[in-house]
A and B are shown apart, each in its own frame.
Chain A
Amino acid sequence: MSRRAALAGGAATAAGFAARRARAQAGAPLKIGYGLPRTGYLGVASPVAEQAYLLWGEQVNAAGGLAIAGGGRRHVQFVSYDDQSEPSKTAEIYEKLISDDAVDLLLAPYGTPFHIAIAPVIERNRFPVVAAATLSSLLRDMHMRHMWFPQPLPDAYGVILAAFLAAQGVKSASLLTLQLPASLETRKYLLPQLSSRGISVALDQDYPNSTADMTGMVSAVRQAHADAVICLSYPQDSVLYVGTARELGITTPVQLLLIGPGEPFFVKKFARADLEGILTIGEWTPDQARWPRARAFNDAYVARWKEPPDYLDSTVSYASCEILAQAVAQVGLDHDAITAAMDSMAFDTVKGPIKFRGVENISTQPGLLQFQSGALQIVWPPDIATARFRPKTGWSL
């Protein structure tokens, strides 16, 4: 075969391939991949994130598909795997999603260690991922080029929490910290903030994940007589704390739990009188009138899953889909173009407007939520608040 014929043949093949590809793209669904822990220790926590992904996908498909810049709409098809709560598996899963499954887009995994695990994979492949369920300033500070953080992070919560405590006239605080990343980081950033505002730490106790009884710790809290109790907990020990604080009659007016009160089961576990006044972190409620889509998202989620969304993980997971979708609608599926769009675009999400500078969300103000009459209200900072803070007045008998 002559050199010319070979070239011509190669060109013909390439042209045919491109045509097939274009045809396939026009009809074929858009593949969006993710890995989440369906089993293992995080299996209990991740459904609130996955349900947000699935709801978003169903809504997009019901609306005729995802709009792509210059290319109409394509239906969304998820490709997902169980990482069994092991970060090393997550890295393999994202590697496989990119190379074997050839997905068009990726959604975030669940939890900080899992975001860290996929960082090298997405950086190497220059594949943009909007982070979701992670609370880690350290991760943000890794200076990745292809991961953005819509959720306010522990350093920001440390600042506003200390400001809130100072505004309530709190002079001393008792700190209980679970030995898991989000709790430890929050403590790390909170301590200097407390000290700069002149709030003393009356008790600073950390505890392991295996803790099954908090009677001793909460007794120490009672003896410390601080003006505030900050329990940097996860859902399981949030339940333990409330039960124990009730039994021991902890009447401190400010009692905050880090993660748990925003999860749907929490409301069912305790009487309204006991929930009343409990604080947690978060800046989303369906009642935030300035974000009109918050209520619509809440209602759609409740209709689909028969339970309310988690105020942290469900909303940020859903928002991460919206951010990606809006970028694709603007610039198409090219990964470098999406990456560039993340820096320049402003996004409109169920959590309100989001704009990134570098990898950090500079629009969303971190906030604090409080149970009032059975619902979580934003009580801090004042400019996004939906209700005023009310001191906790003890527990039901």
Chain B
Amino acid sequence: MATPILSVESVEAGYGEVRVLHGVSLHIAAGGITALLGSNGAGKTTLLRAIAGLLPASGGRVAYRGTSLHGVPASARVDQGIVLVPEGRLIFGDFTVEENLLAGAFCARARSRRAETLEEMYARFPMLRQRRRQMGGTLSGGQQQILAIARGLMSRPALLLLDEPSLGLAPMMVAELFAVVRDIRDAGITVLIVEQNVRATLELADDGFVLETGRITLRGSASALLGDDAVRQAYLGL
């Protein structure tokens, strides 16, 4: 088997005294969409933040393309190709759409190709081009989500971490969003996605993991998970 793009081995992490992850291990092969499922408070966001380097792992090991990320700050991980599009989007409300996008291309690797990438984003998301002088904070929720993803793509990532991208979006926007995620995969970017919308996500994803109270309880191909009784009971309400 080829070296996984991301290896998480027995990672422990938390906030202050509260430990959220109790030894999480998972491997993600390059090129697909991997869904991370789990109920509220299971530790999905915590795991993504630990991978992105926003939260230090208190134990275990995160490796990217076989190399440990221990001590590598968040900004350097972006430079290596790992980008998080966080829950709640965290776009810059007082920046124009274009400034938001340019901020995404800060890392050295992406900076030199900034104009070219910006053009690609405008071509892929004409809505952003139309509104490029508009303040980010004035966009609708769905538009902000697109902007947040585009901003992430501006750094030309190899691994995109999406945290609850469909949260709060109208159903039509959700469908469009999932189409965008598929396009991103087709462009060769590995995606790790956390979603409430379990059925749609598993239909989109190649593989999946279930995280329960800080531990991985189930793993498999997306289709296998869709057929799994436990998954169907817990997440699909069947």
Instruction: Determine direct contact between A and B, CB below 8 Å.
Output: no
A-side interface residues toward B, CB under 8 Å?
none
Chain B positions near chain A (C-beta within 8 angstroms)? none
